[in-house]
């Protein structure tokens, strides 16, 4: 029997057997433990087979309880996206953490406190960041130079050796240890096909490998670290990378399904929402589940319209496979409008429950973290 973990205020991580028997009164995030554990096992096995270090990103689940599933799968090093998250997982016993967000110099005091407790890695993409931390750091900490390999969100351009040299120069003034080069090839999310995803991944890894080769003479033992769920899920060649940092794969979502990163049966997260009203004349239903629960992340349809999730029925102990294109077509703050085109959806009545597969499970889990008592606060 499959079980889900409900994320409900004040109840902790209670295991239940039947989602439809719960007294759910508001949007509630459910995690299918069996599927999530399988996703962890598969990715860990791939990393071992392809001989790269597996440092999964915990920003998707943000859960101490789910973190234990990784620990049980042999994971010992993790990635997080904030100092707050790093502190929470350090409190939970994790002692090898990379904060995969360029250093916020306003948080150097907190970073120093963490470095005194655990093996900590931070990111720099400017010499100002390196100088700020080197000035106050007392305990050793590692750092990666964040490289922009095409996503254009953060990082030093691969050809900008002047900035890299400036970072290395000021970092030498403190107990900072140069670990290597790190990138997030987030442009894979915009790729139009699995082949395009793999091309982006190959280019990013090649750029990092070139930097490692250029600097290894001065800094032996450098690493290259890459991380995005599409390329880590689809790829079978991580040459040029020493470490992978996927995060979304633990739950997957509708976006990953469309990209080809997963099958529907690998999606481990759904938001259970009450039906509030039904409108048969326009084939829609109003659910209690809006942008503050699902986010406004959307996917574009061939006709140019946007969808904000996929509604599926709840049967027995879990949500079911989709029976049609019962998409979430509009979200306001608390309102969610659901298209009701398949048979089960057309028969919905106020008070029923539906499961919504989110477009982006990372955001849904974060938005609903106050309903999951083991989530990082």
- What's the first-to-final CA gap in the chain, in angstroms? 31
Give the model's pLDDT for residue 371.
59
pLDDT at 17 (0 to 100): 36
CA distance 375 to 369: 6
If one looks up domain 95-246 in CATH, what number appears? 3.20.20.10
Backbone angles phi, psi at 328, to 5 degrees: -80, 120
pLDDT given at position 307:
98
Query: Tens of pLDDT along 248-290?
Result: 999 999 999 999 999 999 999 999 999 999 999 999 999 999 9
22: exposed, middle or buried (Cβ count in 10 Å: 0-12, 13-18, 19+): middle
pLDDT score at 369:
79
Would you say residue 21 has pLDDT above 70? Answer: no
C-alpha 366/C-alpha 19 separation (Å) is: 21
Please tell me the least confidently modeled range out of 7-16, 53-62, 302-311.
7-16
pLDDT in tens, 319-359: 999 999 999 999 999 999 999 999 999 999 999 999 999 99
Residue 71 token pair: 């620990």
Q: Minimal CA–CA distance to 223: which of 158, 183, 179? A: 179
pLDDT digits over 78-119, tens only?
999 999 999 999 999 999 999 999 999 999 999 999 999 999
Question: What is the reported pLDDT for 23?
Answer: 76
Most confident of 141-145, 192-196, 321-325: 141-145
216 conformational bin, left if phi > 0, alpha if psi -120 to 50, beta if neither: alpha
Confidence tier at 315 by pLDDT (50, 70, 90): confident
Whether the per-residue pLDDT at 373 is higher than 80: the answer is no
Q: What is the pLDDT of residue 377?
A: 29
In whole angstroms, give the CA distance from residue 229 to residue 156: 22
Please name the residues in contact with 303: beta carbons below 8 A apart, sequence gap of 6 or more: none
Residue 85: exposed, middle, or buried by beta-carbon count in 10 A (0-12, 13-18, 19+)? buried
For residues 283 and 345, what is the distance between their CA atoms, to the nearest angstrom? 9
pLDDT for position 3? 35
CATH topology of domain 4-31+262-371: Lyase, Ornithine Decarboxylase; Chain A, domain 1 (2.40.37)
In contact, 28 and 272? CB cutoff 8 Å: yes
Boundaries of every domain in the chain? 4-31+262-371, 95-246
Q: Give the chain's mean pLDDT.
A: 91
What's the gap between Cα 126 and its chain centre?
25
H or E, element range at 205: helix 194-215
Residue 6 in this model has a pLDDT that exceeds 80: no
Asked whether 263 and 304 are in contact (CB, 8 A), the reply is no
Residues 220-251: tens digit of each pLDDT: 999 999 999 999 999 999 999 999 999 999 99
Give the pLDDT confidence score for residue 1 in this predicted structure.
Answer: 32
The pLDDT value given to residue 193: 93
Residue 164 DSSP SS3: helix
């Amino acid at each position: 029997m499959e079980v889900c973990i409900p994320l409900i205020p004040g109840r902790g991580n209670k295991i239940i057997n039947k989602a439809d028997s719960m007294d759910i009164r508001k949007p509630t995030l459910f995690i299918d433990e069996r599927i999530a554990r399988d996703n962890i096992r598969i990715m860990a096995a791939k990393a071992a087979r392809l001989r790269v270090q597996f440092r999964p990103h915990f920003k998707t689940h943000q859960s101490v309880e789910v973190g234990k599933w990784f620990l049980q799968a042999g994971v010992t090093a993790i990635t997080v996206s904030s100092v707050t998250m790093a502190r929470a997982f350090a409190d939970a016993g994790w002692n090898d953490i990379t904060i995969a967000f360029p250093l916020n110099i306003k948080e150097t005091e907190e970073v120093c406190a963490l470095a005194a407790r655990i093996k900590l890695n931070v990111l720099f993409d400017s010499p100002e960041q390196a100088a700020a931390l080197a000035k106050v750091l007392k305990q050793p900490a590692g750092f990666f130079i964040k490289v922009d390999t095409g996503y254009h969100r953060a990082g030093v351009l691969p050809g900008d050796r002047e900035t890299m040299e400036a970072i290395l120069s000021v970092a030498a003034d403190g107990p900072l240890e140069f670990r290597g080069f790190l990138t997030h090839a987030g442009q894979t999310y915009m790729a139009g096909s699995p082949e395009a995803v793999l091309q982006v991944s190959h280019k990013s890894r090649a750029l990092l490998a070139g930097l490692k080769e250029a600097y290894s003479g001065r800094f032996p033992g450098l690493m290259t670290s890459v991380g995005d769920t599409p390329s880590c899920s689809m790829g079978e060649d991580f040459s040029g990378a020493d470490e992978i940092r996927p995060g979304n794969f633990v739950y997957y979502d509708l976006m990953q399904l469309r990209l080809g990163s997963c099958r529907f049966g690998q999606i481990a997260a759904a938001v259970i929402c009450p039906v509030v009203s039904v409108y048969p004349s326009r084939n829609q239903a109003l659910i209690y589940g809006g942008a503050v629960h699902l986010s406004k992340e959307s996917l574009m349809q061939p006709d140019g319209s946007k969808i904000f999730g996929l509604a599926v029925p709840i049967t027995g102990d879990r949500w079911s496979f989709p029976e049609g294109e019962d998409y979430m077509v509009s979200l306001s703050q608390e309102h969610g409008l659901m298209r009701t085109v398949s048979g089960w959806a057309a028969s919905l009545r106020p008070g029923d429950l539906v499961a919504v597969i989110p477009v982006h499970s990372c955001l849904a889990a974060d938005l609903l973290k106050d309903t999951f008592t083991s989530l990082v606060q």
